[in-house]
Chains A and B, each alone.
Chain A
Amino acid sequence: MFSRIVFALLSSFLVIGTALAQAKPVLTVYTYSSFAGKYGPGKAVKERFEAACNCQLEWVTAEDAGSLLGRLRLEGTNTKADVVLGLDMNLASEAKSLNLFALHDMDLRGLSLPVAWTDDTFVPFDWGYLAFVYDTTMLAQPPKSLKELVENPSGPKIVLQDPRTSAPGLGFLLWMQKVYGDQSGNAWTQLKPRIVTFTKGWSEAYGLFLKGEADMVMSYTTSPAYHVSVEKKDQYKAAAFEEGHYLHVEIAGLTRTTKQPELAKAFLAFCLSDSFQSTMPEGNWMMPVKTPQSGLPQAFQDLIQPQKALLYTPDEVQENRRAFVDRWLNATAR
Chain B
Amino acid sequence: MRLRQLHLGDATTFAIVALVACGFVSLLRIGDGGTTLISIGPYLQRVLIFSFVQAGLSTLLSLGLGIALALALARRQFPGKEALLTFLGTTMVIPTIVAVFAVLAVYGRNGWVAQSLKSLGWTGSISIFGYPGILIAHVFLNAPFVAKVTLDGLNLVPAEQWRLATSLGFSSGQIFRHLDWPALRADLPGLAILVFLLCFKSFAIVLALGGGPSRATLEVAIYEALKVDLDFARAAWLALLQVAICVIIALALHGVVSRPPAATTFRGPMQRVDAADYRLKILDSVILLFGLLFLGPLALSVLVGLGSIPDILDLDLVGALMTSLTIAAIAGSLACSLALAIGAAVRHHRIAQASPRWAALLDLVPSALLAIPPFALTAGLFLLIRPWIDQARIGLILLPVVNGLGALPFAYRYIAPRLMQAEERYGRLSESLGMRGLARLKIVDWPMVQRPLASAFALTAALSFGDFGIIALFGGPKLRTLPYLLYERLGAYRFEEASALGLIILTVAFLLAQVSSRLSHAHD
Whether, in the assembled complex, A213 has its beta carbon less than 8 Å from a beta carbon of chain B, the answer is yes
Whether, in the assembled complex, B33 has its beta carbon less than 8 Å from a beta carbon of chain A, the answer is no
Whether, in the assembled complex, B268 has its beta carbon less than 8 Å from a beta carbon of chain A, the answer is no
Additional 19 contacts, C-beta under 8 A, given A70-B227, A211-B105: A33-B476, A34-B492, A37-B476, A38-B488, A42-B477, A61-B475, A69-B230, A78-B386, A80-B391, A94-B230, A196-B129, A200-B203, A200-B207, A202-B491, A204-B208, A211-B101, A211-B104, A332-B212, A334-B214
CB-CB < 8 A to A39: which residues of B? 488-489, 492, 494
Q: Is the pair A162, B207 in contact by a Cβ cutoff of 8 Å?
A: yes
What separation, in Å, do the CA atoms of A199 and B203 have in the docked complex?
Answer: 10
Q: Is the pair A333, B214 in contact by a Cβ cutoff of 8 Å?
A: yes
Can you list 6 A-B contacts with CB-CB less than 8 angstroms, sorted by A residue number? A33-B475, A40-B492, A70-B226, A70-B227, A164-B220, A208-B208
B101, B104, B204, B227: which contacts A66 (Cβ < 8 A)? B227
CB-CB < 8 A to A285: which residues of B? 493
Q: Is the pair A329, B230 in contact by a Cβ cutoff of 8 Å?
A: no
Whether, in the assembled complex, A122 has its beta carbon less than 8 Å from a beta carbon of chain B, the answer is no
Contacts across chains A and B counted by CB atoms under 8 Å: 146
A75, A199, A213: which contacts B109 (Cβ < 8 A)? A213
CB-CB < 8 A to B100: which residues of A? 204, 207
> Of residues B108, B211, B487, B491, which shows the largest number of chain A Cβ atoms within 10 Å of its Cβ?
B491
Whether, in the assembled complex, A73 has its beta carbon less than 8 Å from a beta carbon of chain B, the answer is yes
Q: Is the pair A329, B101 in contact by a Cβ cutoff of 8 Å?
A: no
Closest 9 CB pairs of A and B: A61-B476, A212-B110, A203-B490, A39-B492, A333-B214, A333-B213, A164-B224, A66-B227, A34-B491
Given A33-B476, A60-B391, residue A74 in contact with residue B104 (CB < 8 A): no
Q: Is the pair A75, B495 in contact by a Cβ cutoff of 8 Å?
A: no
Number of A interface residues in the complex (CB < 8 A): 54
CB-CB < 8 A to B97: which residues of A? 203-204, 207
What separation, in Å, do the CA atoms of A34 and B204 have in the docked complex?
Answer: 19
Q: Is the pair A59, B208 in contact by a Cβ cutoff of 8 Å?
A: no
Which chain A residue shows the least CB distance to B226?
A: A70
Number of B interface residues in the complex (CB < 8 A): 54
| B273 → A minimal CB distance (Å) | 48
Chain B 102-124 near chain A by CB (<8 Å), digits 1 or 0: 00110011100000000000000
Q: Is the pair B207, A197 in contact by a Cβ cutoff of 8 Å?
A: yes
Q: Is the pair A165, B230 in contact by a Cβ cutoff of 8 Å?
A: no
Give the A-binding residues of B (Cβ under 8 A).
30, 43, 46, 97, 100-101, 104-105, 108-110, 127, 129, 203-204, 207-214, 216, 220, 223-224, 226-228, 230, 232, 316, 379, 382-383, 386, 391-392, 472-473, 475-477, 485, 487-495
| B489 → A minimal CB distance (Å) | 8
Whether, in the assembled complex, A180 has its beta carbon less than 8 Å from a beta carbon of chain B, the answer is no
Which chain B residue shows the least CB distance to A157?
A: B109
Q: Is the pair B477, A37 in contact by a Cβ cutoff of 8 Å?
A: yes
What separation, in Å, do the CA atoms of A164 and B46 have in the docked complex?
Answer: 17
